[in-house]
Amino acid sequence: MMSTLEMIDQQVHPAVGEWELPAFVEESAMPSREGDRVIQYREALREAMSEEMRRDQRVFLIGEEVAQYNGAYKVSQGMLEEFGEKRIIDSPISESGFAGMCIGAAMYGLRPIVEFMSWSFSLVAADPILNNAPKMLYMSGGQWGCPIVFRGNDGAGGQLGSTHSWCVEALFANVPGLKMAIPSNPYDAKGLLKTAIRDPDPVFFLESERMLGDKAHVPEEEYYVPFGRARVCREGDAVTLVSFGRPVQFCMEAAGQLAGEGIECEVLDMRTIRPLDIDSVIESVRKTGRVVVVDQSWPFAGISSEVITQVCERGFDWLDHQPVRVNAADVPTPYAKELESAYLPNTERIVAAVKKTVG
């Protein structure tokens, strides 16, 4: 028998090589969200990757059309020119192959960024991304981790029909060992992606084709948005609206409309799903007594179910009304415009859900 069991140091895990997370600051100390350096969401993503690639030679980008084509959605435009073909790599259409390959590269010591043109296409890579990446550290008894970022478009809204409109958050967030970030705006897209690249664990980074052209001020300076800290986008005392990703925008629209009727919603953008900043949700619920969770994935065993369960577990006594969820309709994503817009958790449905809780 071993006489003494040596503990792993809390900061330096031997399984993932050198890693260093930046010192995170409070939201109030972050660079301002107001300003005139207005760029697109896709440019914010590109800045995050380019900055981290300049900083760390271990970081490379691989995916379908990321190099010569400049990205199927132009996220990686110009990166081939700056970093060369050894670090910006066009892959064949083999999600299982290149995702699995990058897991090996991450174990070897590199920091791969794997772009899925759409998260819908990641389903053929389920074994590497779910069965290998998040479990490697555990399965090897702490010998090898998997510092890797999988990123791509998630969610419906472009009339792409059912197979191309996946919201993978509920399906994948179920697996322990991975982290999941889902920015709703350009500022967070940059700050969260930089954190994702620096984090030593596998990060599933969910973007949205519908948001890539969104514009906002993004600071030029380096900043990192910490995982596990929700942002209060709008303060209110009537109802807590919890969301993440693109539906945060619908929540803000709904909150604006409701304010006109005298109902002040507090809107929380979770920013990461795993870790989930339940503390901020509870803090808000203590004030409002009401919670509506808006989630673009399906309702059955979804993220909204998880948030509501945790609210009930930790804040049941503060609730004045049963929690309410607004999800995508519980059907495969339809093609027709009218059906698709009814399918999504739109502003109208959010307004109705809020009214139900305060009515």
> Footprint of another protein on this chain (CB under 8 A)?
1-2, 5-10, 13-16, 19, 21, 57-58, 60, 86-87, 89, 91-92, 94, 96-110, 127-128, 131-132, 137-145, 147, 176-177, 179, 199-201, 227-228, 274-279, 306, 309-310, 313
Q: What ranges in 203-277 are assigned the alpha helix state H?
A: 247-260
For another protein, the closer of residues 10 and 28 by Cβ is 10
CB nearer to another protein: give 7 or 23.
Answer: 7
- Known catalytic residue: 321? no
Question: 340: Cβ–Cβ under 8 A, 6 or more apart, which residues?
Answer: 156, 157, 159, 333, 334
Q: Which of these is catalytic: 64, 95, 209, 340?
A: 95
Please provide the DSSP assignment of 195-224 as one string: HHHHSSS-EEEEE-TTTTT-EEE--SS---
State the nearest-atom distance from the C-beta of 200 to another protein, in Å. 4
For residues 200 and 247, which CB has a smaller minimum distance to another protein in the complex? 200
Considering beta carbons, is residue 69 or 335 the nearer one to another protein? Answer: 69
Q: Which is nearer to another protein, 73 or 227 (CB)?
A: 227
Rounded least distance, CB 288 to another protein, Å: 20
Q: Give residues with Cβ within 8 angstroms of 355, minimum separation 6.
A: 258, 263
Rounded to a whole number of angstroms, the minimum distance from the CB of residue 41 to another protein is 25
Q: Rounded to an integer, what distance in angstroms lies between the CA atom of residue 39 and that of residue 45?
A: 10
Least separation in angstroms between residue 90's CB and another protein is: 9
DSSP state of 140: T
Q: Which is nearer to another protein, 64 or 209 (CB)?
A: 64
Catalytic site residue from 13, 51, 65, 164: 164
Q: Residue 19 CB, nearest distance to another protein (Å)?
A: 8
User: Does the active-site annotation cover 164?
Assistant: yes
Burial pattern 325-337, b for ≥16 Cβ within 10 A else e, equals bbbbbeeebbeee
How far apart CA 232 and CA 74 sit, in angstroms, is 30
The 149-153 sheet, strands edge to edge: 88-90, 59-63, 111-118, 149-153, 203-207, 179-181, 272-274
| CA distance linking residue 15 with residue 18, whole number of Å | 9
316 backbone dihedrals φ, ψ, rounded to 5°: -55, -40
Instruction: Name the minimum Å distance from CB 235 to another protein.
Output: 22
Angle formed by the axes of helices 303-315 and 278-288, nearest 10°:
60
Active site residues: 95, 164
